[in-house]
Structure 1
Amino acid sequence: SLPFELGVFFVQEHAKKVFGAPASRVKGRVRDMKGTFSGGTAASMRAIFEAAAKDLSLVALMKNPFLLTPGFEGPKQPPGNKPVFDEDLKSWNAPFVMANINTRNVHRSNMLMGFPYGKDLVYDEMMVTGPGEQGEAMAKKVMAANNKLSGTDVPKPGEGPSKEERESGLYDLLFVGIAADGRQARIAVRGDRDPGYGSTSKMISECAICLREAPEVKGGMWTPGAAMGNRLIKRLVDHAGITFTVEQ
């Protein structure tokens, strides 16, 4: 979740400079991603679905975008559960398999920092699949592939990407902040390893070092971005092969 949490943080910092205020609407979009799931991740996802099938009360929790913001519930959020055409990007978008986790962390980060993005933040994450009929077909293909992750035709626990796959992986994320008058602020977050393992291992290490150098951060259930913000972004840029760039 960290590249997404910090992507929202970075685009909001940019929006404040461009708009003079935070963006109440932010879109997180995966433009490119190269990496594979491990068997452990697939098993975790399958366990979640199996638990929800046995206890329907868990379904409501899983659907709640403000699950991690106890005592606060913001505006209705986009479901992101089917292919849609995005007018702002002029492209079809497909559901993103990690969105249900990442979006919750973004809202928690906003709450922990005292709502610098506003209490009316609307945020979603999807994958960009391109324009026209080809883009629509790809969006449907991505959705079908997502649905298979909770099945049995996936890697077994202990199996996962090879060293070569981890080192040749990458991701390119776009964040679009939209002002009330329609103006846009756009930034990109890019990583030079596969998102699940190669890049994550570096992010975990840099978070630990950064936290060690932040004695003012007290105990509690923090998100990394809320705890370390720009200080962590600098470490990731300097040491973890991640870039944060303004595009518009």
Structure 2
Amino acid sequence: MNPKAEFDIIVYGASGFTGRLVAEYLAARYGVGGEIKWAMAGRSAAKLAEVRDEIGAPKDTPLVVADASDAASVAAMVGRTKAVLTTVGPYQLYGSDLVAACAAAGTDYLDLCGEPAWMRQMIDAHHATAQKTGARIVFSCGFDSIPFELGVYFVEEVAKARLGGPVPRVKGRVRKMKGGFSGGTAASLTATMAAAGKDPSIIAYLTNPFALAGGFQGPEQPRGDKAEQDEDLGAEVGPFVMATINTKNVHRSNALLGHAWGTDFVYDEMAVIDRNGPPPASLGGPNAPKPGEGPSKEERETGFFDILFVGISADGRKVRAGVTGDKDPGYGSTSKMISEAAICLVKDAAEVPGGIWTPGAAMGGRLIKRLVDNAGLTFVDETA
């Protein structure tokens, strides 16, 4: 973390759809220049000023001009802040130089990345540098993968309290969800598939649940690719589109925590199938959202998510925990989650050393508390 910085957080991409929501949240909850010193950054000062006025942020909200294609402007931005919060994706197209700049400068970095092959490349390239400079690089600070990664962390804490130790098996089950995925998520999937077509080694990263676990290879994991009856829910479950990224982040957390949940840890994610409801949201096809597009305010406000985590001990005892969010997953909740993650990293987790982290491994219960207090999430022990 850059101790001499004039800002705690710079929101990079603040004139885009999700970045605007982040800036709006920060302005409404924290104001400007108070406890949290933050600024809006993007390619155009005029556009930033327009967005600042549209979201009702104070006129003295600092504006920083930086362009992903201009290394000097990116380096200058990185040097002015303790943390860069970036919503400018797909990150494999626009994030590599920013990660490199933050790692070199000792500046914290947070994003909404769901691109595991790129994340693996960044870990390989910059983890050692970040450890030396003190930069904390934290990927996947939105719906992928905070509710899932912290949900596993939370249910393991429940297991320790109730059963006397961690459990080697956790199921993540999306019980209900209203609201779609962001245009950035859809664009990231498209970019990942294009990259895999050019570099077959990327396929190995996408298919290996331990691709982000620092070289560790654990036991075989459930595939979650077919519908099945889940006795723990009394419901039919099927594939969940975000399991590919979430499971990798969960296994990286376990590795970063010194395999606190065991080297035999098994985790999978599936979603409850509602045969009478609308079809699940799709990340592909002609109706997929475009980057910079998103749902109306009403759609964001009426969205939600509800996820169950079932922890199973070696002798069959079980604990249950629920994680919910009060806004649509891809925008309303995501913008609050990454905002609170950035504040938590800068304000509550100064002792965390440099390196490339997951939110749960870096901030754990401190981030859960912030999300519950400020961001409309709940973490509840549902064990009967």
Report percent identity of matched pairs.
64
Aligned to 1:223: 358
Between the aligned partners of 1:78 and 1:86, the Cα distance in structure 2 is 13
Between the aligned partners of 1:69 and 1:38, the Cα distance in structure 2 is 26
Residue by residue over 1:138-185, the C-alpha shift from the partner in whole angstroms, topping out at 9 and shown as x without a partner, is 79x54xx64xx3333323332211111111111111000001121110
Matched, 1:169 2:303: yes
Between the aligned partners of 2:247 and 2:170, the Cα distance in structure 1 is 11
User: Which of the numbers 69, 73, 88 marks the counterpart of 2:232?
Assistant: 88
Between the aligned partners of 2:220 and 2:353, the Cα distance in structure 1 is 32
User: Which of the numbers 184, 204, 214 marks the counterpart of 2:349?
Assistant: 214
Cα gap change, 1:224/1:40 in structure 2, threshold over 3 Å: closer, same or farther? closer
Between the aligned partners of 1:236 and 1:88, the Cα distance in structure 2 is 27
Aligned to 2:333: 199
* One-letter amino acid matched to 1:99: A
Matched, 1:235 2:370: yes
Between the aligned partners of 1:207 and 1:154, the Cα distance in structure 2 is 28
**TM-score for the superposition, normalised by structure 1:** 0.90
Aligned to 1:119: 263
Between the aligned partners of 1:37 and 1:99, the Cα distance in structure 2 is 14
Structure with higher RCO (Cα < 8 A, 6+ apart): 1
The alignment yields a C-alpha RMSD, in angstroms, of 1.8
Which segment drifts farther, 158-167 or 98-107? 158-167
SS state at 2:222 partner: coil
Structure 1: which 4+ aligned runs deviate by more than 4 Å?
none
Which segment drifts farther, 203-212 or 238-247? 203-212
Residue by residue over 1:54-81, the C-alpha shift from the partner in whole angstroms, topping out at 9 and shown as x without a partner, is 4333222200000001221110011112
Give 1:206 shift.
1.0
Between the aligned partners of 1:40 and 1:229, the Cα distance in structure 2 is 26
- Contact kept, 8 Å, 2:152 with 2:170, in 1: the verdict is yes
Cα gap change, 1:190/1:222 in structure 2, threshold over 3 Å: closer, same or farther? same
Residue by residue over 1:172-208, the C-alpha shift from the partner in whole angstroms, topping out at 9 and shown as x without a partner, is 1100000112111000011111111111111111111
Ranges in structure 1 where 5+ consecutive residues have no aligned partner: none
Cα gap change, 1:155/1:206 in structure 2, threshold over 3 Å: closer, same or farther? closer
Which protein has the larger Cα radius of gyration, Structure 1 or Structure 2?
Answer: 2
Aligned length in residues: 238
Aligned to 2:223: 79
Aligned to 2:75: none
User: Which of the numbers 169, 179, 188 marks the counterpart of 2:322?
Assistant: 188
User: Which of the numbers 256, 268, 286 marks the counterpart of 1:152?
Assistant: 286
Between the aligned partners of 2:369 and 2:290, the Cα distance in structure 1 is 36
Between the aligned partners of 1:55 and 1:232, the Cα distance in structure 2 is 36
Between the aligned partners of 1:71 and 1:157, the Cα distance in structure 2 is 33
Aligned to 1:178: 312
Between the aligned partners of 1:65 and 1:154, the Cα distance in structure 2 is 26
SS state at 1:221 partner: strand
**TM-score for the superposition, normalised by structure 2:** 0.59
Matched, 1:245 2:367: no
Aligned to 1:52: 196
Give 1:43 shift.
2.0
Between the aligned partners of 2:187 and 2:286, the Cα distance in structure 1 is 9
Aligned to 1:65: 209
- Contact kept, 8 Å, 1:46 with 1:151, in 2: the verdict is no
Which segment drifts farther, 84-93 or 48-57? 48-57
SS state at 1:5 partner: helix
How do 1:24-35 residues align onto structure 2 when only pairs under 5 Å count? 24-35=168-179
SS state at 1:243 partner: strand
Give 1:238 shift.
0.7
- Contact kept, 8 Å, 2:214 with 2:255, in 1: the verdict is no
* One-letter amino acid matched to 1:68: L
How do 1:96-107 residues align onto structure 2 when only pairs under 5 Å count? 96-107=240-251
Between the aligned partners of 1:6 and 1:39, the Cα distance in structure 2 is 24
